[in-house]
Structure 1
Amino acid sequence: MNNTVRLYGRPPYRVVLVHGGPGGAGEMSPLARRLSQCMPVVEAMQTKLSIQALIEELRDQIAAHAQTPAVIVGHSWGAWLCLLFAAHHPDMAERLILISSGVLEDRYAEVLRATQSARLTEIERSEMAKLTGLLDDPDVPDKGALFSRYGYLFDKIENYDVEPEAQEPFETDPAIFNHVWTEAAAMRSSGDLLRQASLVQCPVLAIHGDYDPSPVEGVREPLARVLKTPFEFLVLKNCGHTPWLERHARDEFYEILEANVA
């Protein structure tokens, strides 16, 4: 193991996990440990401040530690990174599994924002707006505590019914989030995100919770429209943004995932 990967089990590794955030390194550790009970797993960490650099970092991680082509599993923002990676390095991706992907077009982001707002109280909405401003302010020093509180409110927005004991703390990196998300949002707005997704040459499976604030159609419809490879979309009932933590959906999620990475 080095500072940018965690290895579970013995080689050869052919399953690679790509976390969300951006900047949420370690969020997929519970998932990695569970999968490693039946197969070796690479948990890749993101340390770079641009999308192109993250694509090349993931290439280096997979080349150094995994058997290629690999099954690449991305969560949230990590699902986008998987699509971009496979578009740039098609020979290294055998299959993509996208868990709780963000919506791929701006028109669906409006639905996302409305859902997020409806799940907070008026006081919490005010606090969220204040936190967003502080996190975006380059003159605000150490943002770790702000980011943690922001994450707490997002948990309320995103989760349906999680097992508290299943949650684990992980460090978030505000610098990576701010740099990468700004670039990623611009790619979505310009249509470049979908244009690059259309270049993917391997099969794609998307898994999405019905309670995820990112609407199902915001992921399913754009990908079904642009992908030229086999594409399957599965919806989990009573499930939010992080299926492996969800009390009612976790078992079904693991059954689906384990069947598709084996």
Structure 2
Amino acid sequence: MVRKHGKEPYNIVVLHGGPGAAGSAFGLARLISKEFGVLEPMQSKYTIEELEEELMEQIEESCAGKVILAGHSWGAWLAGLFAERFPDKVEKVILIGSGPLDEYYVPQIGERRKENMSSEEAEEFEKILRQLENGFGEKDEYLQRLGEICDKADGYHEEEALRDKADVNGDLYEKVWKEAAELRKSGKLLERLGRISCPMVLIQGAVDPHPAAGVIEPLKALNVDIKSYVLDKCGHTPWREKYAREEFARVLFSELRAGK
């Protein structure tokens, strides 16, 4: 399933987070559609390889020529993995709120998140992570609540009215995230993104718990050039941020136009 925003041609593709949070990139697609036609695929497969192939089918059915991939959070990783596997299909990759590519930076995420949580939220956060890891209870409900806690902790000053409702899939999250985390731990995630041949751009909030350095520095160590923007007063989801969304839009459209 895909949603189309704006008018043809649909040569910009936004990828949602999660994994298993289809629809969470709706606001990003809506923003881009003010100027460009945008494809918003819903990811539904349960392995990374199948997600890449599903995305290829969605692009081939709706897009002509090469596309610009703009992925948010988990979607940033999928955008990079797809671009490495199918270089003839991708003109540019824009990573938004990307998780770090190297395991070294992972502890910083939890530490930075907990600084923005109450003690009760931090306790619930850890409990839900354990329950998801061990397969207890209703995964969709746990993932929904985990998203609510993280949204609050990951933002700087998000506008509540700009939040989009995601179609949460706990089984998809469990299977794909386990594989994705192992890909990072093994170094294969960085290895694959290090082979991307098209231009790469990172747009990250300065107070996003996912440190921008976790993307920039590992790629720099591989002599991979990535253009980066770190936005002040901005958390994990820039298009929802009260103080950063205008700067985010300016940067984003500048990069989208440059890819045309």
TM-score range, shorter chain: over 0.9
Partner of 1:192 in structure 2?
188
**Where do residues 49-198 of structure 1 align in structure 2 (5 Å cutoff)?**
49-140=46-137, 142-198=138-194
> 2:191 & 2:164 partners in 1: Cα distance?
36
Are 2:255 and 1:256 aligned? no
Q: Which amino acid aligns with 1:45?
A: M
Partner of 2:12 in structure 1?
15
Q: Which amino acid aligns with 1:98?
A: L
> 2:40 & 2:218 partners in 1: Cα distance?
28
Post-superposition shift, 1:227?
A: 5.6
Superposed CA RMSD: 1.3
> 2:123 & 2:36 partners in 1: Cα distance?
45
Are 2:211 and 1:215 aligned? yes
CA contact (8 A) 1:194 1:226 kept: no
CA contact (8 A) 2:71 2:95 kept: yes
Q: Which amino acid aligns with 2:122?
A: R
- SS of equivalent residue, structure 2 residue 13: strand
TM-score, normalization by structure 1: 0.94
4+ runs deviating over 6 angstroms? none
Q: How many residues align?
A: 257
- SS of equivalent residue, structure 2 residue 211: coil
Aligned identity (percent) is 38
CA contact (8 A) 1:25 1:171 kept: yes
CA contact (8 A) 1:162 1:245 kept: yes
CA contact (8 A) 2:139 2:171 kept: no
> 1:218 & 1:209 partners in 2: Cα distance?
13
Post-superposition shift, 1:216?
A: 1.8
Partner of 2:235 in structure 1?
240
Post-superposition shift, 1:171?
A: 1.6
CA contact (8 A) 1:19 1:27 kept: yes
CA contact (8 A) 2:73 2:96 kept: yes
Post-superposition shift, 1:72?
A: 0.7
Post-superposition shift, 1:32?
A: 1.0
Post-superposition shift, 1:210?
A: 0.3
1:144-200 per-residue CA deviation (whole Å, 9 max, x = no partner) reads: 322222111111220000111111222211111110110011010100001111111
> 1:59 & 1:220 partners in 2: Cα distance?
27
Partner of 1:231 in structure 2?
226
- Is the deviation greater in 170-179 or in 86-95? 170-179
> 2:109 & 2:142 partners in 1: Cα distance?
22
1:100-143 per-residue CA deviation (whole Å, 9 max, x = no partner) reads: 10011111001112112222222222111221222233352x33
- SS of equivalent residue, structure 1 residue 67: coil
1:27-72 per-residue CA deviation (whole Å, 9 max, x = no partner) reads: 1111211211211100111100000001111111111111221111
> 2:45 & 2:223 partners in 1: Cα distance?
28
Structure 2 stretches lacking a partner, 5+ long? none
CA contact (8 A) 2:216 2:226 kept: no
| From 22, 27, 52, the counterpart of 1:25 | 22
